[in-house]
Structure 1
Amino acid sequence: MNNNSFFLVRRDLYTRYGHACDARIIDSILDKVITRHTATAKVTDFLPIFIARDAAEQIEDHAWTHGDVGTPRKKILFVNRSNAPVAVLAAGLARRLSNNGVVATTAATHPENREDNLIEWVISERGLAGAAVSAHDRTLDAPDLVVYLGMDEDADLPGRRYVHWDVSHTDGMDLTATRQFADELEGAVARLLQDLDIRPLAQDAEPLAA
């Protein structure tokens, strides 16, 4: 294996620990771990998993010993296959309310389910546009929590645990109702963050730039 085989490991470590460690430190630790493991490994099938685990432990140790918080950012995947913008709104709210303390992503959906003009208006209105990116359906990238935005969503995506939220369908809503829907979703996201021991950002606080 060459170092290109560990691209996903490197990217995941950046995502998890970039708030606590400089990329050069992450690279240095990971490169040393890769060199050590590849020099002695007889079976390489699960090598990226072992390397990711070992490097994460060393990065956490480095962060804590240098006065930074070494806890990795939790990954939350929001899923709404019938209305992708609702998932984007939820992910954007999670990032905003946590002050980028979580990695919030959205699941892929069919092209015909990617438009909701009023939800997209509210996303833009609240400065949340572009806050979420598509997640990768790989074990290494599995989120800590999958939030299905709808009781009829199939719980079929990889994740350490999952929850279903009973959210309203936005069909027929006017702008006022859509804003109220967003407020209710914001409250649900804030409660979720509290359950994850992440203190939500006060609404009048200045959010960290994405």
Structure 2
Amino acid sequence: MSTPSVLFVCVHNAGRSQMAAGWLRHLAGDSVEVRSAGSAPGDQVNPAAVDAMAEVGIDISGQRPTVLTTDAVEASDVVITMGCGDACPIFPGKRYLDWDLEDPAGQGVEAVRPIRDEIERRIRGLLSELQVPVR
């Protein structure tokens, strides 16, 4: 079986999608190919998201927001959108999930923790659906 590929998309690619990618890399290791991108990427990853993830032992400080490309969507098996509205291209034959998560932009680490924990719950569910063991 080939390695499943997951793309996380939000507007700025600075908070939710970066935390989701961090969780997926952490829990799945090399068993899943992980991408994240934004329709209007920010300058840097949200510092509160970096701090919230560091609290659970996941370092996303080296990540950079990336612009969403059609190539990234076409190369992915599952595309998970997080509030990017109509900016996300839709291709036939792809599995799309829309995760309605609060935007951590401009919020402190206290407000980001529950978003981080909800993302972890959803990532664990996704791994179960993909039949990828949590490492």
| Short-chain TM bin | 0.7 to 0.9
TM-score where L is the length of structure 1? 0.52
C-alpha distance in structure 2 between counterparts of 1:154 and 1:97, whole Å: 29
When the two structures are aligned, how many residues end up with a matched partner? Answer: 131
**1:192 to 1:84, Cα distance in 2 relative to 1, 3 A:** same
Q: Equivalent residue for 1:173?
A: 107
1:190 and 2:124 aligned: yes
TM-score by length of 2: 0.76
Q: Percent identity?
A: 25
Q: Could you tell me which amino acid in structure 1 is paired with residue 114 of structure 2? A: Q
Quote how far apart the aligned CAs of 1:131 are.
6.7
- Unpaired runs of at least 5, structure 1: 1-70, 202-210
Q: Does 1:145 align with 2:78?
A: yes
RMSD: 3.0
Residues 118-133 of structure 1: pairs in structure 2 closer than 5 A? 118-125=48-55, 126-129=57-60, 130=62
More strand by share: 2
Does structure 2 retain, via aligned residues, the 8 Å contact 1:151–1:164? no
**Unaligned runs of at least 5 residues, structure 2:** none
Q: Which structure would you say has the larger RCO, counting Cα contacts within 8 Å and 6 or more residues apart?
A: 2
Q: Distance in 2 between matches of 1:131 and 1:115?
A: 7
SS in 2 for 1:168: coil
What does residue 43 of structure 1 align with? Answer: none
CA deviations 1:17-53 (Å, max 9, x no partner) are: xxxxxxxxxxxxxxxxxxxxxxxxxxxxxxxxxxxxx
Q: Is the 8 A contact 1:85 1:114 kept in 2?
A: no
The CA deviation string for residues 78-108 of structure 1, in whole angstroms up to 9 with x for no partner, is: 0011352321110111111113210111124
